[in-house]
Amino acid sequence: MSTSKKHINTDGNTAASNIAYAFSEVAAIYPITPSSDMGEKADAWAAAGKKNLFGQKVDVVQMQSEGGAAGAIHGALTAGAMSTTFTASQGLLLMLPNMYKIAGEMLPTVFHVSARSLACQALSIFGDHSDVMSARGTGFAELSSTNVQEAQDMAAIAHLATLESRIPFIHFFDGFRTSHSIQKIESISYDELKSMLDMKYVERFRSEAMKPEDPYCKVGAQNPDVYFQGRETVNQYYQACPDIVQKYMDMFKEKTGRGYDLFEYIGDPEAESIVIAMGSSISTIKETVDYMNRNGAKVGAINVRLYRPFSVEALKEVVPATVKRIAVLDRTKEPGAPGEPLYLDVVATLRSRPEIEIIGGRYGLSSKEFTPSMIKAVYEHLDAGGHHDFTVGINDDVTHRSIEVKEEIDSEQEDIVRCKFWGYGSDGTVSANKNAIKIIGESTDQFVQGYFQYDSNKSGGYTVSHLRFGKQPILSEYLLNKSDFIALHRPQYIGQYDILEGITEGGTFLINTGQKPERIFNLFTQEMQQTIRDKKLKVFAIDASKIAKSVGLGGRINSVMQTAFFKLSGVLPEKEAIELIKKYVEKQFLVKGKEIVEMNWNAIDASVEAIIEVPIPKANADEKYAQITAVVPEDAGDFAQLVMDPVLRLKGDRIPVSLMSINGTIPSGTKKLEKRGRPGNPAKWVEKLPFVEHCQVDETYFEYPGCCSGCGETPYIHLATQLYGDRMMIANATGCSSIYGGTFPSTPYTTDSKGRGPAWANSLFEDNAEYGFGMRLAIDANREQLKSNIEAYIEMEPKSKLAVALKDRLAEWKSVTPEAKDHADMIKELLKQYTSKAKGEAKPVLEKITELEDYLVDKSVWILGGDGWAYDIGFGGLDHVMASNRNINILVMDTEVYSNTGGQSSKATPRAAVAKFASNGKQMGKKNLGLMMTTYGNAYVASVNMGMDREQAALAIVEAEKHNGPSLVIAYSPCIAHGYSLQHAKKQSEKASKSGYWPSYRYNPALSAEGKDPFVWESPEQDMDFNQYVEEEIRYRTLMRSNPEEADRLMELAKEDNVRRFNDLRHLSSPTEQDAPKEEIQTKKAITDD
Amino acid sequence: MIDLSTSYMGLKLKNPLVIGACNIVSDLNDIVKLEEAGAAAVVYKSLFEEQIQLEAHQMDQEMEAYEGWDSEHDSMFPTANHAGPRAHLLKLKKAKQTLCIPVIGSINCVNTDKWAEFAVAVADTGVDALELNFYANIIDADRTGEDIVKEQLDTLQAVKEVVKIPIAVKLSPYYTNTLSVVTRMGKAGADGFVLFNKLFQPDIEVAREEHHYPYNFSNPNEGRLALRYAGLLYDQIGASIISSSGVFTGSDIAKMTLAGADAVQVVSAIYKKGMSHIEHMLQELTSWMITKEYQTLNDFRGKLSRAKMGDPFAYKRAQYVDILMKSEIFMKYHPKDGEELH
């Protein structure tokens, strides 16, 4: 056993990725929250030259989708490279086909999964076991980690076991709760890992690789005569696998002192009631079991580590003979099943113990809190003979499956200091808290835990940091419900959020305010004032903004607030804490110069000096206090009051099942009720454009989106909705635009005074073009049906007023003008009259017309998404629908990275730009999507840049909509991922065009039909150097600063890319250009003739 | 045929006009234009250690500004570390590879142990010589002049030990005894001296009561100190002398050469009058030499130096002005009322 233990502060993703890197030669990756960090870390390590266990840099390759990543892994394994990948949620589901193949071919690998909810009624980026449970039939082993320490250790055990067992593994841990939680763990060195690796299994793996020197054929197909037998050949390996895993768990104990079992029993050895679960909930269950047993109970629990292959024997062994009742807790839902998967496995396992009553329940979907109080309620439910198929943590007032949590308990270990911070996105609070954890975790013997909650809005939303510090490893895997220290970095939250919720007796409250000390108490709500007095809180204040400015830190108050935390929180004695932070600052900044160190020291000293204790006045009847802020208007209706209000106050957990829609829908026009963000001011200039026949300038269809300030996507949505909002169907790919477009409980899409507006939906990331295409099919089918019924009716009653109106409508069947809409409204009125009086054969026809009356005017189908969708994961679908003859409009808001998942490279990322997965700069040039789509000849294609030429952008959108076929508009969209203040987005957009980077053009097949040149080149003449564009953006500057030689090389190539892209496109223009080679002209003519 | 060629630290220069270290000498396009305009050599913009530190700090801050936005935007860029002076060195190397005229590197460090490391890195780019820019704003009252000189001598020696190319020292004008410092540095191996460095002198804007930082251009009169020390040092040390202050015209080059400078460094004149002024200055110098019937710079270099002049007062302390006022010799050199000093 190793004698010296090295502690590190890390999160679950980093811990697992470090191990995956050690054992792998190839990593095929694709971004998906919350697993993206694992791929990003591996890519960054490879870029920095980090070596794996075999002295090699890992070949980290980004693929176009998770399906692609799994395929690449399959190939790499087949050809003899130890390979890994990282994913979650629908990403894992996209890998399923290959996973069956990989397992079927007995190829050893580990997929590391930060387990996440699946998109059902809505997506959720948060954690549960829905994804890994969906993969349980693949033949992959599934090994679960309960915390960050195990995310490291189980990752290693999985890699070791897969090589010996030949069975591929999923190693999973809970998304966010473990993947993003920062904890102090014992690290393991690559030397220690190597000492556990038996190289003969590596050699065996390599010897079985496919190669022409020793060829074999992996058969493609088997028939009924042998397939079944073939499936049964693997049984012996699955039988052996649990013992192999246990062997490595034992070896791990020998080497590191940390022992694990396939199933681990926790609690009273003579318990009668136990729960069985897996994942991060186990730590909290252990904390609760300890608490309950300390208070006289005799309960236990079983932690399932190896879920597949499920060792019946190993589970039976750990169930005490005394057990009479078991509650199996599943963190997933299988609608319609007799029980969730783990429950069914336990039931099957314990057939030999019929005396045990086993019930199953669900908890913690989408990172729903699972607290000691809830766990205690589960035991109480179990002991009371409670029902099976229960839920805990919600209020199911419809089918009444939820159990009641009767008592709030505080079961946390002794001597834990709990600190909560209210900040807002981008104010540095989260970074500062991560820093604080790092300082304390690395410089003292304290254990630490940091977990961070964020608003769904992209910028300026709240952040809540939950920090725990203690002398022993921290078990509590849930948000702080008791806090010894609460800091409010943004006083504007008073009245909206329950700031002091859970503060302990005698606790400390720190507020950032510039208010005079004697007035600070009056800033609080009555409830807060009461809490401060009742709990005898110590209240401190600091004017962080003022100090930050005075010491040269600008608007970022994080360092100031961090110092105040060190002084006041009681985690460390004050003097020691300040010395520690100063020492850390010196270590951190010395390499950047003494002056930087001194500036930060001054900030620390100034912060310490500036903290004041707030006087608590005696209660009096005239005391001033802050009012509770209305977060939605009082007259906004039930949805706003009953659903939005609690969600916006962070009390959404209290919303009962009955208030939720069954299909994930919410009313339009709800974002404006939140009273934040930017209103949708319809642009007047659009109306004046000669090619615009009609647009909405009095009302808006898109308002207050929760996007980043200055987002470059939303202007295009404003424009498109202004033009077509009242008859628009939007299919929105998952990404930023779906998050600000449709995150519960509100949407920025709204209706006009007639109640019309964009109908918006998001299916998935990968299928958006097909999803929108399907909408078109439905509209076409419904219109066709409507048309045939209209024709039938006209034949029946040709002289009726309705028939005359319907005839007129048929004559203008494609018209979408305001007059056509008014005409349709008039027909709807007539329909009501005629249908109510109809008899005989006309009645069902009129009823059918009424059913389909909303299709009297055609709809405008828009398929919206970012470049990650259009260029990568959804490209196959986009390509297919662009090759169709259906009337769809695709708007690609090209931010040139996967913006929503945090800036990973896509095929739209330009060469030389740094992005995640391209730490050393994007090596290849940007894909010329527009050019590719012009090859179909019948598709409308445009490239636009609103910041450069808004009229050209509007013209492209209008032409695209008019085009009776597939249209694609690629829109240059400034994004925070470009790394400059988006206040300057217009100027930078102009530079993008004028430097010869972004092409503006329209390719309109309709012009060909008129004998005109279909390609209209609209880029301005290049009048500035490309460098003048790139030097403004961090994405380029970073490489210039971090790897100037590579930046130099790539920049030269990037300039060549620009020239080539322009030339490739300009070749599409008129063949009358004198310098165009003859053969080129002929070729192009042939294409346009098609 | 007038021959303007000269030698500076062993480097053959086609004329005495060298472009001093400044921002113009950092962009390759501009440097090429300087060469085309007739510059005999360039001193590439100084590599300031402090600037590298600040850049690294700024880079970290920029990246940090994008952290912690929301659940999915925990960060927006991959982790990256500043590459230190590599970007500067890359540009310098390109400049050296592109130009035909000599390219001189320049460094300034804040940590004493960094000078040698930076010197090696700059020398490795292939530059022809290196200038040690001993630029420091001393604000520590406890450090003596000797402490500072000693540190500079140690630095010079450390650099000489690891670098083979010629080393020039860009001097501060504010030593107690500049000649002594120069002599000691000469013994420590300095191959050339640049007379003089311009120190950071922020101004105060009284209306707003705050500091402001105007361009710190030379003015023509500033050349007198360099003129004086060129005259004092000519023929007294083995190292080359290059005057870097107040050189705006061909006459200024002639003056500096008469005093004993091997070459001159020009910066402010280029900022103020553009690159075409190089040709103009050289033309002026040539015209003057034709007038004076000089064929080469050596024909008059050091003619008015202390070593070559018999005049005992020319380089004496000006504080004796009350005595000298009465001297005929003084009057010979002092301009009469209304007469411009050229």
> Over pLDDT 70: what percentage of chain A?
97
Interface test with A, best of B27, B71, B79 (most A CBs within 10 A): B71
Close Cβ partners of A781 (under 8 Å, ≥ 6 residues apart): none
Question: Which pLDDT score is estimated for A553?
Answer: 72
Mean pLDDT of A10-37: 98
- Answer whether residue A843 shows pLDDT above 90: yes
Flag if B79 and A918 touch (Cβ within 8 Å).
no
Q: How far is A521 from chain B (nearest CA, A)?
A: 30
Closest-approach residue (CA) in chain B for A590: B53
Close Cβ partners of A100 (under 8 Å, ≥ 6 residues apart): A138, A139
Nearest to A727 by CA among A688, A764, A695, A698: A695
Q: How far is B69 from chain A (nearest CA, A)?
A: 4
A795 tagged catalytic: no
Flag if A592 and B70 touch (Cβ within 8 Å).
no
H or E stretch at A84 = strand A83-87
Flag if A176 and B62 touch (Cβ within 8 Å).
no
A355 tagged catalytic: no
Flag if A452 and B80 touch (Cβ within 8 Å).
no
Question: Which pLDDT score is estimated for A4?
Answer: 67
Per-residue burial over A699-725, b if 16 or more Cβ lie within 10 Å, else e, is bbbbbbbbbbebbbbbbbbbbbbbbbb
Q: Among the options A13, A18, A66, A525, which is catalytic?
A: A66
Interface of B with A in 111-150 (CB under 8 A): none
CB atoms within 10 A of CB B314: 17
* CA–CA separation, A776 and A767 (whole Å): 14
Question: Which pLDDT score is estimated for B328?
Answer: 52
Written as tens digits, the pLDDT of chain B (342 aa) is: 899 999 999 999 999 999 999 999 999 999 999 999 999 999 999 999 988 988 998 898 888 888 888 888 888 999 889 999 999 999 999 999 999 999 999 999 988 889 999 999 999 999 999 999 997 777 889 999 999 999 999 999 999 999 999 999 999 988 999 999 999 999 999 999 999 988 777 889 999 898 887 777 878 788 899 999 999 999 999 999 999 989 999 999 999 999 999 999 999 999 999 999 999 999 999 999 999 999 999 999 999 999 998 766 767 654 344 444 555 554 555 445 544 433
Flag if B78 and A1035 touch (Cβ within 8 Å).
no
Q: How far is A912 from chain B (nearest CA, A)?
A: 14
Paired residues of A265 in beta bridges: A302
Task: Give, as one character, the DSSP assignment of residue A623.
Answer: -
H or E stretch at A774 = helix A768-796
Confidence of residue A549 (pLDDT cuts 50, 70, 90): confident
Residue from the list A461, A918, A977 with its beta carbon closest to the beta carbon of B76: A977
* CA–CA separation, B28 and B291 (whole Å): 37
Closest-approach residue (CA) in chain B for A454: B70
Q: Among the options A87, A116, A468, A1058, which is catalytic?
A: A116
Flag if B90 and A1048 touch (Cβ within 8 Å).
yes
- Output the CA–CA distances (angstroms, integers) from residue B56 to B60, B74, B255, in the order listed: 6, 21, 44
Closest-approach residue (CA) in chain B for A553: B61
Interface contact B158, partner A, CB < 8 A? no
Flag if B71 and A456 touch (Cβ within 8 Å).
yes
Interface contact B55, partner A, CB < 8 A? yes
Q: Hey, what are A831's tokens?
A: 């329909």
**Number of inter-chain CB pairs under 8 A, A vs B:** 137
- Output the CA–CA distances (angstroms, integers) from residue A624 to A522, A523, A524, A629, B209, in the order listed: 5, 8, 9, 15, 41
Interface contact B65, partner A, CB < 8 A? yes
Average pLDDT, chain A: 94
- Answer whether residue A1083 shows pLDDT above 70: no
Closest-approach residue (CA) in chain B for A47: B80
For residue A902, the chain B residues in CB contact (below 8 A) are 72-76
Flag if A596 and B65 touch (Cβ within 8 Å).
no
CB atoms within 10 A of CB A637: 14
Flag if A425 and B70 touch (Cβ within 8 Å).
yes
Nearest to A177 by CA among A474, A514, A616: A474
The residue written with tokens 């709809």 in the block is A859
A116 tagged catalytic: yes
Question: Cβ distance B244 to B168 under 8 Å?
Answer: no
Question: Cβ distance A745 to A642 under 8 Å?
Answer: no
H or E stretch at A113 = strand A110-115
Q: How far is B28 from chain A (nearest CA, A)?
A: 13
Interface contact B98, partner A, CB < 8 A? no
Flag if B78 and A592 touch (Cβ within 8 Å).
no
Question: Which pLDDT score is estimated for A988?
Answer: 98
* CA–CA separation, A689 and A956 (whole Å): 12
What DSSP letter does each residue of A436-484 carry, written as one string? HHHHHHHHSS-EEEEEEEE-SSSSS-EEEEEEEEESS-----S--SSEE
Bond before A745 cis per omega within 30 degrees:
yes
Residue from the list A592, A901, A916 with its beta carbon closest to the beta carbon of B56: A592
Interface contact B29, partner A, CB < 8 A? no
H helical segments located in A935-1033: 950-962, 985-994, 1005-1009, 1026-1030
Flag if A459 and B70 touch (Cβ within 8 Å).
yes
A1046-1057, pLDDT tens digit by residue? 999 999 999 999
Question: Which pLDDT score is estimated for A595?
Answer: 80
A33 tagged catalytic: yes
